[in-house]
Chain A
Amino acid sequence: MKKLKYLVFTIALTLALPSNGLASFLDNLQVDHLKNGLKVITIEDHKDPVITFQVWYRVGARNEITGKTGLAHLTEHMMFKGTEKYKKGEVSRTVARHGGNENAFTSQEYTAYFQTFSKDKLHISLNLESDRMVNMIVDPEEFLLERDVVMEERRQRTDDDPTSVVVEEMFAAAFKTHPYRNPIVGWMSDLQNLSRKDLINWYKTYYLPNNATIILAGDFDRSEALKAIKKSFGSIPAGSTPPAMTIKEPEQLGERRVWVKKEAQLPFIFAGYKVPNLGHPDEYPLQMLENILSAGKSSRLYKSLVYEKQSALYAGGSYDGLSKDPGLFYFYAGVKPGVKTEDVEEGIYLELEKIKESGVSNLELQKAKNQLEASFITSQDSIFYQAMQIGRLDAAGVDYHYLEQYLDNIRKVTKEDVVAAAKKYFVADRRTVGILVPLKKGGSDEK
């Protein structure tokens, strides 16, 4: 699935499944609140002498307005460009000098910053993250340089990758009013027009302790760490609550299709169905459908399209309910040379129809449950991943207690639930389809 590395900007994640009788990282999790509204989630895990420190701001591309897309992500980049205390490049140099790794990421829902260190380095994170929560400097020249860097990022990850362009176009067609229609990196013309002032306003509006969550995971002493966090962040004044994003996507009334004609070798299909997000009772059967259709070489889409019919180079599907608003359950396939695009597209729908008509087997249902349970266990191996999971839940506005019930809820899913969900959501009227129509060198249209 290397091919799909950049397919969507949200990070694919299998939900954690607390299992009866199994130790879970949730047992070692505690939530605290500072007086200024900063939420602090600590997850103690002493298996390795390392920590990850993350600051999650509850602001992402979803908060951008027309003409200003890319602002959340550009702000993420500018956060490395300095404060009075840490000049340009100093944040990265400081982290490296202390043996740490660092980066940041932006999604529709959040902008998050992290460092991973050996266990005795918490104070380094505290110093620089508390500083840049309030003291970012937006130097005019640096702003323009970094905007150029982001445009290069867009060229590299989207414009020059035909499948990424299809993904972008499909989302833009699937959502008419909701900001999920916009790419996180931003439209090129918006990037060209973003100003330093836009960025400063953004920072002032959203980068507040009362709009952020700290997540610390790994090998540390909780009471000491909380004391230190309070000392570093406690004096940062709260700001007024940022405005809520209130746009709702109207109901889709029929299938939408987009075509992307671009120089490429093979056609690509990307089809998404409108589905509910987490919190809706159907999320559990939808999760099961993802596994039945797409997890492993024994899953239905791989088996049918890649293995048996040999019409697709790769094929799969993904449901990620971890968003604030309802999103898409999407399917994708790379069409093999000499195969008709329509045949592969129909092949995907046929697998969905089969579930609707003939249901799923006991074995498939149990396999999906086993897979989710195993991934719950193995995914905890990384403390970064633990923090990431909790951070994404928090950003979607979901309490972590949700996870404690998750496995039970998955276990309760019946074959009938799965079929009912397939019938309800896998219907053409809820679907948006993006097709890559490869142009040969020089631009001729060839099916």
Chain B
Amino acid sequence: MKSRQLIVSIVALASLLLASYSCASERKAERFITKNGMTILLLERDSLPFITVNVTIRAGSVFEAAEKAGLASITADLLTEGTQSRSASQISEEIDFIGGSLSSSGGIDYSSASLKVLTKDSDKGFNLLADILRRPSFSDMEIERSMSQIKAGIISKEDDPSTVATEAFNKALFGDHPYARPAEGTLESLENIGREDIINFHKKLYRPNNVIMAVVGDIDKRSLKKLLKKHFGSWEKRALPLPEPVMAEQIKGMKVELIDKKISQANVQLGHIGIRRENPDFYATYVMNYILGGGGFVSRLMTEIRDNRGLVYSVYSYFNPLKDPGPFKIGLQTKNESAREAIDESLSQMKNMAKNGVTEEELRSAKDYLIGSFPLRFTTNAKIASYLSYMEIYNLGLDYLDKFPKIIEALTVNDINRAAKKYLHPENYLLVVVGDKEEIGKL
């Protein structure tokens, strides 16, 4: 019976592979570098007359000084709030009038901007996009406005228990590493940021040779090149700084933080430092985590803690592999009284995975899902644009779409189990709980 099942899944897999290859070969993304150093990724897709543009700038919070936390984020926020030739209102009027969208935001390793316009408005869209990236005015009035907005946002975050938990988790986990800080900064650190800081941050990092631009939709290479030349051609490149390397220390033993809040659920986050994206074990770790808690309704955590015990609505685990090693985390929410039980069960799942690894059958199912669902990731301009950016950020190469299924298929139970042993640390972890201390009891 067992062997029969195996044959069936191998046949299913073969057809899946074919599906994803044909998908990849029908649509070839192109990559080129402009004279001033912008990395451009283009996927032409003419089914609907609009384009999506994702701009990724290596100008995230890792480039700011700790005492000026929030600098990268406010710089990105302010891009749309006025340029040398347009006020904030003019920018929003212009983009809204053509039914498009234009936005910018700060991140950890990167900051980003994105544009969506009908093809007929491409020139206008690129004009606006170039204007906000190249010539933001950073006026005192807009800085003040943004500051007040960000501060109110920081205060309001207190009302979202999972955000409170996440920030406490990052802070305790990453110590002096920039990943410890919330991207928008703190009420204190914002006080240390002045207009000069913002202008300098922008001048230093918002450079064509620091930009990845993914363009997807109804536009051909020639038209795109013309638009790039017209709107970005005179943007001057410049030597770029690298972020100062800081190593975060792995947790030793068990570290617990309980934040008291009068709410009905305990928001639990449990984990340690994970891996960087460039780690060659990324794929084995990724599949291992899919089985542990990344696989939605079919993961071990979901099956045990939700389906078999009814303790949670949501439970998950993930590795967030960034440029530096990001966090590994199990997260869940359960009524205060069951916090202990849910934590114990999470830990036991983690231990079991580290000790005993996965079965052949689990691995087969994981591969079938990850390979079979791959085409679903490339179905809209927005999804494709963000995937292309991701591929470039981590140097995965344009043949990644063809490579991914092969890499996953080649993984063995041994690979997965080795990754589980190496990258899960059930004896050395951080536990953050936000909830009603009294009802939760002893942790």
Q: Point out residues on A near B: beta carbons under 8 Å.
A: 3, 22, 47-50, 80, 88-89, 92-93, 96-102, 116-120, 144-153, 155-157, 159-163, 263-266, 295-299, 303, 306-307, 310, 313, 334, 336-337, 363, 366-367, 370-375, 377-378, 380-383, 441
Contact, CB under 8 Å: A265 / B310: no
The answer on a CB contact under 8 Å between A367 and B97 is: yes
Q: How far is the CB of B306 from chain A (nearest CB, A)?
A: 6
Which residues of A lie under 8 Å from residue B136 when comparing CB positions? none
Q: Measured between alpha carbons, how far is A299 from B153 in the docked complex, in Å?
A: 21
Residues of B near A147 (CB, < 8 A) are: 310
Q: What are the 5 tightest A-B residue pairs by CB atom distance, in nearest-first order?
A: A99-B372, A374-B99, A148-B310, A297-B92, A145-B310
One digit per residue, 1 when the CB lies within 8 angstroms of any chain A CB and 0 when it does not, for chain B 79-113 equals 01000000011001101111111000000000000
Q: A92-B298, A119-B19, A337-B155 are in contact. Are A48 and B265 (CB under 8 A)?
A: no
In contact, A337 and B152 (Cβ under 8 angstroms):
yes
A-B contact pairs, 16 of them (CB 8 A): A22-B49, A92-B296, A93-B298, A96-B365, A97-B368, A97-B372, A116-B376, A120-B19, A296-B101, A297-B88, A303-B89, A363-B97, A371-B99, A374-B50, A375-B99, A378-B381
Inter-subunit contact B159/A98 (CB<8 Å): no
Q: Which of these, B101, B309, B378, B379, contacts A383 with CB under 8 Å?
A: B379
Shortest distance between the CB of A154 and any CB in chain B (Å): 8
Interface hub of B9, B19, B45 (most chain A Cβ within 10 A): B19
- Asked if B297 and A48 sit within 8 Å, CB to CB, the answer is no
**Using an 8 Å CB-CB cutoff, how does the interface string of B311-340 with A read, 1 for contact, 0 for none?**
111100000000000000000011100000
Interchain CA distance A337-B150 in the complex, whole Å: 12
* Interface residue tally for chain B (C-beta within 8 Å): 76
A377 in contact with B368 (CB, 8 Å): no
Complex Cα distance, B159 from A363, in Å, reads 39
Tell me the complex Cα distance, A148–B381, Å.
Answer: 39
CB atoms of A149 and B375 under 8 A apart: no
Contact call A378/B309, Cβ cutoff below 8 A:
no
Knowing A93-B298, A313-B152, A377-B49 touch, does A160 contact B372 (C-beta < 8 A)? no
Interface presence of B303 (CB below 8 A): yes
Known: A96-B365, A160-B264, A313-B153. A120 touches B160 (CB 8 A): no
Tell me whether B298 and A381 are in contact (CB under 8 A): no
Q: Is B22's CB under 8 angstroms from A49's CB? A: yes
Q: Are B96 and A295 in contact (CB under 8 A)?
A: yes
In the complex, are the beta carbons of A88 and B307 less than 8 A apart?
yes
Question: Is the CB of B242 closer than 8 A to any CB of chain A?
Answer: no
Rounded to whole angstroms, the CA-CA distance of A48 and B100 in the bound complex is 24
* Complex contacts, A118 vs chain B, CB 8 Å: 16, 19-20, 372-373, 375-376
Contact A377 B118 (CB under 8 A): yes
Contact A50 B98 (CB under 8 A): no
- Which chain B residues border A307 with CB–CB below 8 Å? 88-89, 145
Cβ of B116: which chain A residues have Cβ within 8 Å of it? Answer: 378
Answer whether A298 and B22 are a contact pair too, CB < 8 Å, given A88-B307, A101-B373. Answer: no
- List, in ascending order, chain A residues with CB within 8 A of B45's CB: 47
Task: Tell yes or no: B262 within 8 A of A by CB.
Answer: yes
- Asked if B23 is at the interface (CB within 8 A of a chain A CB), the reply is yes
Asked if residues A371 and B96 are in contact (CB atoms below 8 Å), the reply is yes
Bound together, the chains give a CA A190 to CA B158 distance in angstroms of 30
B15 within 8 A of A: yes
How distant is the Cα of A373 from the Cα of B382 in the complex, in angstroms?
A: 19
User: Given A298-B92, A310-B148, A370-B98, A156 and B314 touching (CB < 8 A)?
Assistant: yes
Would you call A96 and B48 a contact (CB within 8 A)? no
CB distance from B287 to the nearest CB of A (A): 13
Asked if residues B99 and A373 are in contact (CB atoms below 8 Å), the reply is: yes
Q: Is the CB of A266 within 8 A of B48?
A: no
Q: Nearest CB to that of A45 among chain B residues?
A: B47
Q: Which residues of the partner chain A approach B223 to less than 8 Å between Cβ atoms?
A: none
* Distance in angstroms between the alpha carbons of A145 and B312 in the assembled complex: 10
Pick the residue among A116, A117, A119, A299 that contacts B96 (CB under 8 A). Answer: A299
B156 touches A265 (CB 8 A): yes
Binary interface encoding of chain B residues 388-423 relative to chain A, with 1 for a CB under 8 A from any of its CBs, else 0 = 000000000000000000000000000000000000
Say yes or no for B60: interface residue by CB 8 A criterion. no
Q: In whole angstroms, how far apart are the Cα atoms of A147 and B310 in the complex?
A: 8
In the complex, chain A residues whose CB is within 8 Å of the CB of B15: 120
Taking a contact as CB atoms under 8 Å apart, the answer to whether B95 and A296 are in contact is yes
Which of A98, A99, A264, A363 has the largest number of chain B CB atoms within 10 A? A99
B387 at the interface (CB under 8 A from A): no
- A120–B11 CA distance with the chains assembled, in angstroms: 13
Contact check, B148 vs A298: say whether CB atoms are below 8 A apart. Answer: no
Chain A residue numbers with a CB within 8 Å of B263 are: 159-160
Question: Closest CB-CB distance, A18 to chain B, in whole Å?
Answer: 14
Q: Are B373 and A145 in contact (CB-based, < 8 A)?
A: no
Interface residue? B12 (CB, 8 A) = yes
Least CB distance from A270 to B in Å reads: 15
B379 CB contacts on chain A under 8 angstroms: 48, 50, 382-383
Q: State whether A381 touches B48 (Cβ < 8 A).
A: yes
User: Which parts of B14-45 form the interface with A (CB within 8 Å)?
Assistant: 15-16, 19-20, 22-23, 45
**Contacts A48-B378, A118-B376; A264 near B303 (Cβ below 8 A):** no
C-alpha spacing A96/B367, complex, angstroms: 10
Report A115 CB to chain B, min CB distance, Å: 11
| Complex contact B373–A298 (CB within 8 A) | no
A163 CA to B159 CA, complexed, in Å? 9
Q: How far is the CA of A50 from the CA of B383 in the complex (A)?
A: 14
Q: How far, in whole Å, are A163 and B310 apart by their CA atoms in the complex?
A: 26
Chain A residues with CB below 8 A from B297, complex form: 80, 89, 92, 96, 102
CB contact under 8 A between A156 and B265, given known A99-B373, A307-B145: yes
> Given A80-B297, A97-B368, A265-B156, do A148 and B311 touch, yes or no (CB 8 Å)?
yes
Q: Is B380 an interface residue (CB 8 A)?
A: yes
* B303 and A50 form a contact (CB under 8 A): no
- Rounded to whole angstroms, the CA-CA distance of A160 and B263 in the bound complex is 6
Cβ–Cβ contact B16 & A99, under 8 A: yes
Q: Which residue of B lies closest to A441 (CB)?
A: B262
CA distance A145 to B335 in the complex (A): 14
Distance from A76 Cβ to chain B, minimum over Cβ atoms (Å): 13
Cβ B303 vs Cβ A89 within 8 A: yes
Q: Tell me if B161 counts as interface (CB < 8 A to partner A).
A: yes
| Chain B residues within 8 Å of A363, by CB | 97
Does chain A have a CB within 8 A of B149?
yes
Bound-complex Cα distance A49 to B401 (A): 15
A101 & B152 in contact (Cβ 8 Å cutoff) = no
Confirm or deny: B374 has a beta carbon within 8 angstroms of a beta carbon on chain A.
yes
Docked-complex contact B156 and A3, CB < 8 angstroms: yes
Q: Are B155 and A149 in contact (CB under 8 A)?
A: no
Q: With A88-B307, A119-B19, A380-B48 in contact, do A367 and B96 touch (Cβ < 8 Å)?
A: yes
B149 engages A313 (CB within 8 Å) = yes
Q: Of B19, B306, B312, B376, which one neighbours A101 at CB under 8 angstroms? A: B376
Check if B371 is an interface residue, CB within 8 A of chain A: yes
Least distance between A46 CB and chain B CB atoms (Å): 9
Q: Does B295 contact A (CB under 8 A)?
A: yes
Q: Are A377 and B96 in contact (CB under 8 A)?
A: no
Within 8 A of A (CB), among B256-298: 261-265, 295-298
Q: Knowing A47-B47, A374-B118 touch, does A263 contact B375 (C-beta < 8 A)?
A: no
